[in-house]
Amino acid sequence: MNNLTKICKAAFEAKYTLAKLNVETKNQVLTDTARLLVENASTIIEANKEDLKNADAKHMPAGLRDRLCLTEERIEGIAEGLRQVASLDDPIGSVEEMKKRPNGLLIGKKIVPVGVIGVIYEARPNVTADVFALCFKTGNAVVLKGGSDAMHSNVAIVAVIKEALKLNGVTEDAVGLIEDTSRETTTEFMKMNDYLDLLIPRGGAGLIKSVVMNATVPVIETGTGNCHVYVDSDADLDMAVDIVENAKTQRIGVCNAAESLLVHRDVAKEFLVKLEGRLKPHHVELRADEASREILTDAVSATEEDWGKEYLDYIMSVKVVDSVEEAISHINRYNTGHSEVIVTNNYQHEELFLNDVDAACVYVNASTRFTDGFEFGFGAEIGISTQKLHARGPMGLMALTSYKYIIYGNGQIRK
């Protein structure tokens, strides 16, 4: 039995124990994990420095390096996410929709764990703790397959998690980390149907496509983020400038950063002049259509590829449109189903946008950067689902549960 199989088999055996844990034990493990992460921050940061050193040697893009980097502040943020998950109601065991049938049968729907969840992700060490927290709170075992870029950081974080589990007398097999980063092991992991109940990829388009195309384990697809901001003819332009600046530049290497800008022709000149001045200190490259380039002083020509591109960089596509309907049509053609924004004071336009844009999260007058489990009150997230089956948007606790029907009778037989 190879190491991958051992890890997955151990998780499979652990899931039955985890499903029966009481909420007090689960919350104590999460609280202890948060405390130990902060107490061991210096050790985790030293491990992270090794990953950053390797990233610099590989000339990792700035956006991806930012995702990889851990600081005391970011570790405290991860710990706060765990504390928030601990504070949330535990959905496991709750019974919904209990109904009495004409024959006297009582039929209810009981929330249960999924079982064993496998997660494949890239250079995001915070995902290690976030995923564990959500899976553990919902009684699931989790097997983590992080990328080589963050392996030192992931090992250090998992060691802390296992210490918290041990302190509370809970099996350390609640979390498994696959340290072999070879392509062969990753492919084998995608086919562990005997042990995994669900597989979730979290990363770039290439990783997600590979998992969707090759996995035999059921997959929830978390998508890349070509997120748009549409500035309507009835927008507050100062508000719009603030929203675009935040959505584009607050953190460039995240899936909820805005990559594309649409502007109504009636306000294009005034708005783009204001925006260009605001973005200039951030050195954002604007890739624009012809109408936008006639206004902007320093923009390059956009190509067809730019309209659908997730840059994860200080780059943004810009296009002038003639109506909210044209904006919606463009977004639905090129977006990735993640997060879309309209800035407007026109009620009819915002309702049309909310109803017709096909995305997991649709905003009126707010930044795309709020598409996040922490900001949605989920404590953390296992990913942003851009598909429509089972889960959509930031995936919190309920997205990691299933259900079974429970039926009470008093001797009924079917005639």
Q: Where are the beta strands (DSSP E) in 335-399?
A: 339-343, 361-364, 384-385, 393-394
**Could you tell me if 70 and 48 are in contact, meaning their C-beta atoms sit under 8 angstroms apart?**
yes
Whether domain 3-222+395-408 has CATH 3.40.50.300: no
> What average pLDDT does the structure give for the chain?
93
- Work out the pLDDT band at 381, boundaries 50, 70, 90: confident
The pLDDT of 241-255, averaged and rounded, is 94
Question: Under the phi-then-psi rule, with left for phi > 0, alpha for psi from -120 to 50, and beta for the rest, what region is 384?
Answer: beta
What does the pLDDT read at residue 80? 93
Lowest mean pLDDT among 76-90, 248-262, 381-395: 381-395
- Work out the pLDDT band at 67, boundaries 50, 70, 90: confident
**Could you tell me if 287 and 299 are in contact, meaning their C-beta atoms sit under 8 angstroms apart?**
yes
Q: What pTM, to 2 d.p., does this model score? A: 0.81
Question: Under the phi-then-psi rule, with left for phi > 0, alpha for psi from -120 to 50, and beta for the rest, what region is 201?
Answer: beta
Paired with 299 in beta bridges are 286
Structure tokens at 32: 């202890």
The pLDDT of 315-319, averaged and rounded, is 97
- Work out the pLDDT band at 225, boundaries 50, 70, 90: confident
Q: Above 70 in pLDDT, residue 1? A: no
Higher pLDDT, 131 or 208: 131
Residue ranges per domain, the chain?
A: 3-222+395-408, 227-370
227-370 shares the fold of 3-222+395-408: no
Structure tokens at 331: 């977004």
The pLDDT of 375-386, averaged and rounded, is 78
Structure tokens at 130: 């976030």
The pLDDT of 312-326, averaged and rounded, is 96
What does the pLDDT read at residue 305? 95
Question: pLDDT (tens digit, 9 = 90+) per residue, 2-13?
Answer: 899 999 999 999
CA–CA separation, 167 and 123 (whole Å): 29
Structure tokens at 49: 């420095």
Which of 363, 356, 290, 275 is closest to 320 using CA atoms?
290
What does the pLDDT read at residue 394? 80
Q: Above 70 in pLDDT, residue 107? A: yes
The percent of residues in the chain predicted with pLDDT above 70, rounded, is 99
Question: pLDDT (tens digit, 9 = 90+) per residue, 195-224?
Answer: 999 999 987 778 888 898 999 999 987 777
What does the pLDDT read at residue 253? 81
Q: What CATH number labels 227-370?
A: 3.40.309.10
- Work out the pLDDT band at 377, boundaries 50, 70, 90: confident
What does the pLDDT read at residue 224? 79
The pLDDT of 25-51, averaged and rounded, is 97
What does the pLDDT read at residue 209? 85
Strand 285-288 versus strand 95-100 pairing type: unpaired
Structure tokens at 26: 């689960």
The alpha helices in 190-313, defined as continuous H runs, are: 205-214, 237-249, 268-279, 290-293, 304-307
- Work out the pLDDT band at 391, boundaries 50, 70, 90: confident
